[in-house]
Amino acid sequence: MPQDVSTVGKRAGLAPGTRSGLWAHMAAAIDVLQPEWVVIENVRGLLSSPATRPPAEGNDHERRNPGDATPDGATLRGMEPDPWHLGDNATRPLRALGAVLGDLADLRLDARWIGLPASLVGAPHQRFRIFALARRTVPHPSRNRLITRRGNPRPSASTTRDDRAVAPDHRLRAPRTEWLTQQESRIGDAVVPDRRTVQRWARYAEAIARWEHITGRPAPAPALLNDADGPRPAPVFVEWLMGLPTDWVADSDELTQNQQITALGNGVLPLQACAALRCVRGDRVSLLAT
């Protein structure tokens, strides 16, 4: 999801005209594509940033909510006063996560969410993130009239074109995910940093050693030295912090070092996502709290 619910995005919130306002387009895409599962990830600000929705067409706030409809004496009848007047206006204050979950419910998707830090799976940093998993529970009444489903090419389509039939498991083949399975199996193992690790990383030695064990590879040098600008984060180190395979991003000739850092920083830590989704599905997960 877009960034305007993060501190980097100035906490503009989920509103039309912001980058996070793109959620409306994402919801529209979900409505058209009708996937069985939807996965959403965002920063902690999703819990507190505001969401503002434009008034629906034909919504006349003055006519539907006349001043005498809720007399001041309402509180005398045991009703709790509501300073925000929630529900009285289409542009009512609403948290970003509430807006997202409400839209998913409108799209006939049952959603569950969780927030957890990356350190819970052994990463040497916090990186708290919100994950939501939604599943379709009610078939769309007009699904067959929306679009032709991917994987059903036109009779005259060439098998070499982009609309060719695609195997349903083409994204989840074992060779592509085996590294992640191996990482999951190492969470919770007892790890004691050796003398060399302590000398190099000092008070961070235990966290670094644990992540080296989980990822199965040593920590690269954390910074690039530049006489003009001083030390800068090394893309290969950030890549390692994210638990990604070697050169997943850092070997790209098409991205500058700044672009590599941005791509990695805006990405998702795979092991953290796996743990979060297993938790919201109700699977038993062994997590390491730090």
Confidence of residue 166 (pLDDT cuts 50, 70, 90): low
Q: Report pLDDT for 19.
A: 45
Closest C-alpha among 207, 213, 209, 220 to residue 118 = 207
Residue 185 has pLDDT above 80, yes or no: yes
Residue 152 has pLDDT above 80, yes or no: no
Confidence of residue 169 (pLDDT cuts 50, 70, 90): low
Q: Cβ contacts of residue 74 below 8 Å, gap of 6+? A: none
Alpha helices in 81-234 (DSSP H): 96-106, 174-186, 195-201, 205-215
Q: Average pLDDT for residues 264-287, to the nearest whole number?
A: 86
Strands, sheet with 109-116, edge to edge from the N-terminal-most edge strand: 37-43, 129-136, 109-116
Q: Average pLDDT for residues 10-17, to the nearest whole number?
A: 49
Confidence of residue 141 (pLDDT cuts 50, 70, 90): low
Q: Report pLDDT for 89.
A: 52
Q: Average pLDDT for residues 4-16, to the nearest whole number?
A: 47
Provide the whole-model pTM.
Answer: 0.70
Closest C-alpha among 96, 123, 111, 110 to residue 9 = 96
* 25-48 confidence digits (pLDDT tens): 889 999 999 999 999 999 898 888
* 43-65 confidence digits (pLDDT tens): 898 888 877 655 555 555 454 44
* 236-273 confidence digits (pLDDT tens): 999 999 999 999 998 888 999 999 999 999 899 999 99
**Among the listed ranges 7-11, 92-96, 282-286, which one has the minimum average pLDDT value?**
7-11
For residue 120 the two structure tokens come to 């819970």
Confidence of residue 4 (pLDDT cuts 50, 70, 90): very low
Helices (H) and strands (E) in the chain, counts: 9, 5
Please state, rounded to an integer, the average pLDDT across all residues of the chain: 76
Confidence of residue 231 (pLDDT cuts 50, 70, 90): confident
Q: Report pLDDT for 160.
A: 45
* 77-115 confidence digits (pLDDT tens): 454 455 554 444 555 567 888 889 989 999 999 999 999
